[in-house]
């Protein structure tokens, strides 16, 4: 059966479609944080950023830029956020790789941000080294 988004790709479920090419599709989010909140997906189903092949990350990024330009031209927001959730703990609900484009207007308060923390400078290098050891 596939994900909800695969069903949208196949035309089995309706969506307010904006743009598509061979690899990607952009359509409006059904629960928008703001006017023009758009999802960009790769048509092939991969659950998240870790599993999607790099060429499809590039394709989705290209479409994201193209659609963000169109949203900016259509609605003149003051800015926009690109959000990409991975894992339930990070707020992912649909496990089919996608990027949110969320148009923003001054003072709209539609997104919550992380709380800036504090860390020792020496610890930063330790953490960086731990990650570096796992780079392929």
94 binds ligand DGP (CB under 6 A): yes
Specify whether 37 is catalytic.
Answer: no
Name which of 101, 43, 98, 39 is nearest 69 in CA terms. 101
Catalytic residue among 37, 96, 98, 100: 98
85 binds ligand DGP (CB under 6 A): yes
102 binds ligand DGP (CB under 6 A): no
From first CA to last CA, the distance across the chain in angstroms is 34
11 binds ligand DGP (CB under 6 A): no
CA distance 84 to 9: 19
Which of 30, 74, 111, 128 binds ligand DGP (CB under 6 A)? It is 30
Q: Which helix (H) or strand (E) holds 47?
A: none
Q: Which stretch binds ligand DGP (CB under 6 A): 23-31, 41-49, 69-77, 126-134?
A: 23-31
93 binds ligand DGP (CB under 6 A): yes
Quote the least distance from Cβ 47 to ligand DGP, whole Å.
10
Q: How many CA atoms lie within 13 A of 49 on its CB side?
A: 10
Which of 15, 52, 101, 102 binds ligand DGP (CB under 6 A)? It is 15
Coil, strand, or helix at residue 124?
A: helix
Quote the least distance from Cβ 102 to ligand DGP, whole Å.
9
What stretches of the chain adopt beta strand conformation (E)?
A: 17-20, 24-28, 38-42, 79-83, 98-104
Around Cβ 61, how many Cβ atoms within 10 Å? Answer: 14
Any idea which residues carry the catalytic annotation?
98
Residue numbers at the binding site for ligand DGP (CB under 6 A): 4, 13, 15, 27-31, 39, 85, 91-94
């Amino acid at each position: 059966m596939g994900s909800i988004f695969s069903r949208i790709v196949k035309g089995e479920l309706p969506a307010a479609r904006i743009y598509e090419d061979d690899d990607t599709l952009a359509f409006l989010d059904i629960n928008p944080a703001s006017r023009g909140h758009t999802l960009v997906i790769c048509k092939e189903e991969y659950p998240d950023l870790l599993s999607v092949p790099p060429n499809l990350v590039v394709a989705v990024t290209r479409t994201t830029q193209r659609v963000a330009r169109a949203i900016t031209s259509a609605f003149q927001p003051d800015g926009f956020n690109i959000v990409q959730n991975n894992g339930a703990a990070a707020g992912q609900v649909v496990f089919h790789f996608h990027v949110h484009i969320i148009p923003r207007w001054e003072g709209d308060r539609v997104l919550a941000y992380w709380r800036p923390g504090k860390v020792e400078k020496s610890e930063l290098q330790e953490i960086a080294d731990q990650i570096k050891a796992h780079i392929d």
